[in-house]
Chains A and B, each alone.
Chain A
Amino acid sequence: MSRLQNVFAQLQGKRAALVTFVTGGDPEPALTVPLLHALVEAGADVLEVGIPFSDPMADGPVIQMSHQRALAHGTTMGDVLAMVASFRQQDTRTPVVLMGYVNPVEAMGYAVFARACADAGVDGVILVDLPPEEATEWLAAARRAGVDRVFLLAPTSPPERITRVGEASSGFVYYVALKGVTGAAHLDIADVAKKLAVVRSHLRLPVGVGFGVQDAASARALGEVADAVIVGSALIRRLVAPEGKDAIAGARSFVAGLRAALPPRQ
C-alpha cells in the first residue's frame, strides 16, 4: 500500500486528512525541511511541496510571490527533490506530493523526473497544466517509477471528464473548489458538497478539496464533506507576515488550529 493510500485508509471514517502546501525554497531554501517537519508535528497528514516556476498561471498573488521568492533564492527542481530526500531521512511515514507546472518537467524529461521522484521519496505529483489528455508520456513514466498521479477536477469539469480524470489518477484527486486561481475568496460549502456528490458518483478515489481554504472555520466546514482539506495561500501568508518573527512558529500554530477544527466522523 502506498503512503497516500495508507493515510486515507487510516483516516477513513475518522476525519478528513489535512494537506498543507508550501513552495520548496520559500521563504528560504534552508527553512523548507524544518518547515515540513513542523507542519507534520502540527498535524498535517500529507505534505504538498511546490516546484517554483517563473510563470505560475493558475496561482493567485500569494503563491505567485512565493514562487518568485523561491526562484530569487535560486531554487531548482533538483533542489526541491533534495529537500524531500532530506525530509525522508527523518520521516518515512508522511506522504509528500510535489505540485508544479509542466515545463520544468519537460526540461528534465518525464522518465528522469519520475525516477528522481521515486529516489527522493516523493509519493505523488500534481502537474497543474498537464491534463490527462496530454499526459500519456508522464502517466507511463510515473507508473513505471511507482509515483502516484494526482490530477485536478474543477466545477467546470463535465461528467465524462470526471470519469477520465479518475481513471488517470491514483492516490487522490484534487478538486478545485471554485472557479479561479489559488487563494481566491469565498467558498460556498453547500455548493461544494453538491458538486462533490457528483464527483464521487464517477470515481472511487479520495477527493481532496483546495482553493479557498482561509481559516479554521472554512477548514471545519470543508472537513464535513471532503476526504482531504488542502490549504496553501492562507498558510503561506503566515510564513511571510510576521516581519522578523519565526516563520515556522507562525505556520505551526496556524496548522495546529486547522487540524483541531477538523470535525470527527461517526
Chain B
Amino acid sequence: MTYDLPDARGHFGPYGGQFVAETLMGPLAELISAYETAKDDPDFQAALTRDLHDYVGRPSPLYLAERLTAAAGGARIYLKREDLNHTGAHKINNTLGQGLLAKRMGKTRLIAETGAGQHGVATATVAARLGMRCAVYMGAEDMRRQAPNVRRMRLLGADVVGVTLGSQTLKDAMNEALRDWATTVDDTFYVIGSVSGPHPYPAMVRDFQAIIGREARAQILEREGRLPDAAVACVGGGSNAMGLFYAFLEDQAVDLYGVEAAGEGLATGRHAAPLTAGARPGVLHGTRSYLMYDAHGQILETHSISAGLDYPGVGPEHAWLKDSGRARYVAVGDQQALAAFRALTHLEGILPALESSHALAYAQILARELGREKVIVVSLSGRGDKDVETVAAYEEHH
C-alpha cells in the first residue's frame, strides 16, 4: 500500500487540518499553492539541493558509534550526524527550504518561534543569507536556559522577542508568532520549525526534512548491505523524527521509535509526552493531534530539561503513525537523557543536544533488547554546545 497522506486539506486520518482564525486562511491557501508549484519546479529543487550541499554541508555522515555500541552491549548503533550541519542541527534543512520559498513568493521578512533556539538560529541564518529581515519569538524561560543561541540570533541580525505570557516556553512563542503573522501577512513568511501547525506546514516541513531518512537509508544499505532493524529519533513537535521515518514508512521490517520527553517522570505530570502518557486528541496552533490539556480543555504546562521537547502537542502525522501502529512512541526522562549526553561525550567525543540525548538513551536500551546481530539508526538531530550551561547547572543542583 502506498502511503500518500495528508489528504488535500491536510488531514492524516482524524488529525491535522487548518484550525486557524479566518485572517490566516487566505494566506495559507496562497502558501499551499506556492509550495505545490515550487515542489514540482526543477529550478527550485536544484537551488535547494545546491544550498543543502554547499551551504549546509550535506550529505551528513552516518557514523557507526563503536564504543557506544560496545558499552550498550547489543545492536550496532549508527548515528545520523545532523549535528554536523551548518548551525548545528537538522533545523536548517527546513528553514532553507522555507526561506527559498518565501523569497520566491516575494516576502521580505521571516518570523519564527523557537524553543531550544536551534530553529531560531537556523531561521536567522537563512534570513541573513537571503537578505531578509527576521524576528524570532522565544519564551523568556527558554531565553534564559538557551542564552548562547539568543546571542547567536542577535549576531545574525534577528530581532529576538521575549515572550513573558503563559509558561514562557515554546507554545507561548508560537502563539506570539501567529499573532505577528496575522498582522504582517502581506510581507512576512512564517517559518514553522516543526511538523506541526496548520496545513501545509506538517507536510511541507516533513518534505524538507525527509532528506535525513533518504540519505540514511542509502548510507545504511551501502554500509551494511541491508535496511536497519530500527530507526530512533526524539519527538517534541517531531520534525527530525518525521524526517528520518518518512523514507522508511513502507519498509515494514524497519521498526520506528519516537522518543518523547518524560521530564521528571510520566507519573509526576511534569513531562512533555502527549503520545506516551495517554493524552487525548485536541486542537492547538492550527492542528488537531494528541495534546496535553486538563478536563476543561486548558492547555497544560509541560516540563523537560530539553527546551526543544518542552511542548504540549505533537505533529499530527505522529498521531496518525501512533494510531496506525506504524511507529511506536516511548518516553525518556531528564536523568536518562543526561546520562546519554554524558555517555556519548565520554565514549565518542560527541556532545549531543539534550533533545537528541533522549533518542540516544532509548537507542541504548533498544540495542540491548535487540542483540548483536541487529542494526539501529539514531537521528543525532543536533549538537549540545548550547546545553553546556544547562547540564552544568543540573549537576550542581542534583
Contact = CB atoms under 8 A, between A and B. Distances in A.
Interface string B20-34: 111111110100000
A138 B96 CA distance: 38
A29 interface: no
B20 A54 contact: no
Given A131-B22, A154-B23, A161-B25, A106 B286 contact: no
Contacts of B182: 58, 179-181
Contacts of A184: 183
Nearest to A79: B296
Given A154-B23, A156-B26, A179 B297 contact: no
A82 interface: no
Nearest to B174: A57
Contact of A107 (B21, B27, B297): B297
B17 A55 contact: no
A102 B19 contact: yes
State which size class the interface on A falls in.
Answer: 35 or more
A194 B21 CA distance: 22
Nearest to B24: A156
The A interface, classified by DSSP as helix, strand, loop or mixed, is loop
Contacts of B20: 129, 131
Contact of A103 (B22, B24, B171, B284): B284
B324 interface: no
Nearest to A61: B165
A129 B26 contact: no
A55 B22 contact: no
B154 to A, nearest CB: 24
Nearest to A129: B19
Nearest to B179: A181
Contacts of B282: 103, 106-107
A231 B21 CA distance: 18
Nearest to A60: B179
B166 A54 contact: yes
A153 B22 contact: yes
Interface in B176-230: 178-179, 182-186
Main secondary structure of the interface of B (DSSP, over half): mixed
B26 A106 contact: no
Contact of B21 (A60, A103, A106, A128): A128
Contacts of A165: 22
A86 interface: no
Given A103-B282, A106-B281, A184-B183, A157 B293 contact: no
Given A106-B283, A107-B282, A176-B22, A57 B165 contact: no
Contacts of A103: 282-284, 291, 293, 297-299
Contacts of B280: 107
Contact of A131 (B25, B171, B291): B25
B9 interface: yes
- For A55, A77, A103, A130, which residue has the most chain B Cβ atoms within 10 angstroms? A55
A76 interface: yes
Contacts of A105: 297
A62 to B, nearest CB: 12
A176 B185 CA distance: 15
B175 interface: yes
Given A103-B283, A107-B282, A129-B283, A55 B291 contact: no
Interface in A154-194: 154-158, 161, 165, 176, 179-181, 184
B285 interface: yes
Contact of A55 (B171, B183, B185): B171
Question: Max chain B CB contacts within 10 Å: which of A107, A153, A157?
Answer: A107
A108 B297 contact: yes
Closest 10 CB pairs of A and B: A104-B297, A107-B297, A156-B26, A180-B183, A152-B22, A154-B23, A58-B21, A57-B175, A54-B298, A76-B296
Given A106-B282, A156-B24, A156-B27, 17 more contacts: A55-B175, A55-B285, A58-B21, A58-B23, A58-B178, A59-B179, A101-B283, A104-B298, A106-B281, A106-B288, A107-B296, A131-B20, A133-B17, A133-B18, A154-B26, A155-B23, A180-B23
